[in-house]
Chain A
């Protein structure tokens, strides 16, 4: 018996990510619904609502935020439920692959698919609504960390919630309902300042509002637009804090609720 060491968790995770991406891009419904939907919504709603340049900037920022939640929270949650349903997770459980590698693979999947989605949306924004992309390195740095932290936090919550759903059919409900409600509470379609205090507070408890606010700070024509936020400023420190807190909550929830199959107990 040789005592060759098993492959490392990170390299296995990246290899899983490559495989996940390959499977993802081979399914047309993913390309249509997950990758293009936000761009399509931007095109439709933008044509109706966007009357001035500033509005296009704000709307595009919010839609990128909503898009991330859609790929990470909803899309990833659904894909974990599907992995449980078709036996992928059970097969993986029977191999020496660590759970962390599986999760790294999913993060890679969400990261890349969200990036595709954001690029498509920005392209629509630039071509159709004369969207102006930020030019300073500082803004892009903010974009990068809000994007990364948002993806990780929402992915963890999506995986945690996927354990509640027994099948892909009821997962669609379990995951889409909070997503749709949060879009209204978080300033995606309606400005948060237009909401009553109680709803605004409710929205502020969840990641979506903070992801969108972070992106609005990136795409605003200038920082004077911060007065339109509920707090009157971009609150980037709070954005990092809330998303960081949700990452920890997500980690704990995933650790407690994750199931490899529907029949383990």
Chain B
């Protein structure tokens, strides 16, 4: 059974259709990224799966239950990192993590979790005094404290500096290696490429493409561009068979500055959401 199965999910705010018929399947143990620009409907979709928002239509099954009706035992299996939270401003990191550990039957060791997210030096600081990136790490700590089977992370690295993002990625990879199913939203392509087994691109409330980061949008089979320099200047040919093209061209000798490129994930993505 899949960890997440969604069919025909719809949600409108007044007359604005934020989610317009989304289908998703996330297998157990998979890292799945929902990629999309601001306003695409990522948060709305994810919060419906978390049981935080009502839906207008569609079938949703998360760990075998309907989030709109599921109870305590179901919530105990989830780890949720919301897009924005400013709670626990007057609790220290240590107090907050220890407190949230009490909600679960078999929590992780709070001190280990603080260490895992890299907040050991900030353990005695109050939530309200943390920087943006540190605050997100506290959110992640509270998300993983209950040993979740399934984690939701909504734009977890927005506002991180490059080093913090790398550290965060290795944390996610570690959780995935332990068998946690992970659904994360992001608008960073490199993040999806680095972490995800599969990616869905969401735009205007619809899934416009789905696949592995390598094959997304037909990237692996897209026409390649062959470029080289001749006496007449820079030349380029778009072709489905670059090997054959180069073989023909190279009969006359060496080709200067020869390159073969396929569209980058970014090229594909920008075309998809345009």
- Chain A residues packing against B (C-beta within 8 Å): 2, 4-7, 12, 15, 19, 22-23, 26-27, 83, 86-88, 90-91, 93-98, 260-261, 263-265
SS of B interface (majority) = loop
B80 within 8 A of A: yes
- Contact in complex: B90, A90 (CB < 8 Å): no
Question: Chain B residues near A91 (CB, 8 Å)?
Answer: 80, 82, 85, 87, 142
Alpha-carbon separation in the docked complex, A216 to B146 (Å): 50
B88 within 8 A of A: yes
Supply 22 A–B pairs (Cβ within 8 Å), ascending by A.
A2-B105, A2-B106, A5-B105, A6-B103, A6-B104, A6-B105, A12-B102, A23-B91, A26-B126, A27-B90, A91-B82, A91-B85, A91-B142, A94-B50, A95-B75, A95-B76, A95-B103, A95-B146, A96-B146, A98-B72, A263-B53, A264-B52
Q: A2-B106, A86-B86 are in contact. List 12 more A-B contacts (CB 8 A).
A: A6-B72, A19-B91, A26-B90, A27-B90, A86-B87, A91-B80, A91-B82, A94-B80, A94-B82, A95-B75, A95-B103, A265-B53
- Contact in complex: A7, B105 (CB < 8 Å): yes
Inter-chain contact count A-B, CB under 8 Å?
84
Known: A90-B82, A263-B53, A265-B53. A19 touches B103 (CB 8 A): no
Question: Chain A residues near B166 (CB, 8 Å)?
Answer: none
Alpha-carbon separation in the docked complex, A261 to B84 (Å): 13
Alpha-carbon separation in the docked complex, A27 to B89 (Å): 10
Question: Chain A residues near B73 (CB, 8 Å)?
Answer: 6, 96
Who on chain A is nearest to B72 by CB?
Answer: A96
The winner among B51, B52, B86, B106 for most chain A CB atoms within 10 A is B52
Alpha-carbon separation in the docked complex, A93 to B82 (Å): 12
| Chain B residues bordering chain A, tally (CB within 8 A) | 32
Known: A87-B87, A265-B53. A7 touches B102 (CB 8 A): yes
- Contact in complex: B91, A261 (CB < 8 Å): no
SS of A interface (majority) = loop
The winner among A19, A86, A95 for most chain B CB atoms within 10 A is A95
B99 within 8 A of A: yes
- Contact in complex: A96, B75 (CB < 8 Å): yes
Alpha-carbon separation in the docked complex, A7 to B104 (Å): 7
- Contact in complex: A22, B95 (CB < 8 Å): yes
- Contact in complex: B91, A265 (CB < 8 Å): no
- Contact in complex: A264, B102 (CB < 8 Å): no
B62 within 8 A of A: no
B54 within 8 A of A: yes
